[in-house]
Amino acid sequence: MWDGRFEGLLRQHLPFLPTGAEIAPDLSLRDFGLDSIGTVELLAVLEDAYQVRFTNESLRLEHFATPGVLWETLGDLDRGH
């Protein structure tokens, strides 16, 4: 699964997620308030926090669909894929 830093940053961009609610790997980020502006903001904080850069290939909307997919994408960037 992901680390606490990732979950904390993600929670800040999910305004419809109840406080203390579990974030499941398949949770729809869009359903819990991650809109286009939030996606850009989340992208920037993840790049800063993990010292990675999202490539054109990794900027597809499906990579921001669920926490599980986003964490996997972030891990791929960290490994240089």
Give residue for tokens 């499941």: 24
pLDDT digits (tens, 9 = 90+) for 18-71: 999 999 999 999 999 999 999 999 999 999 999 999 998 889 999 999 999 999
3-state secondary structure (DSSP) of residue 33: coil
| 3-7, 12-16, 36-40, 54-58: range with lowest mean pLDDT | 54-58
**Alpha carbon 19 to chain centroid distance?**
18
Q: Give me the pLDDT at residue 57, please.
A: 87
Rounded Cα distance between 52 and 66, Å, is 19
Q: Which domains does the chain have, with CATH numbers?
A: 4-78 (1.10.1200.10)
Place of tokens 């850069």: 53
Contacts of 73 (CB under 8 A, 6+ apart): 54, 58, 63
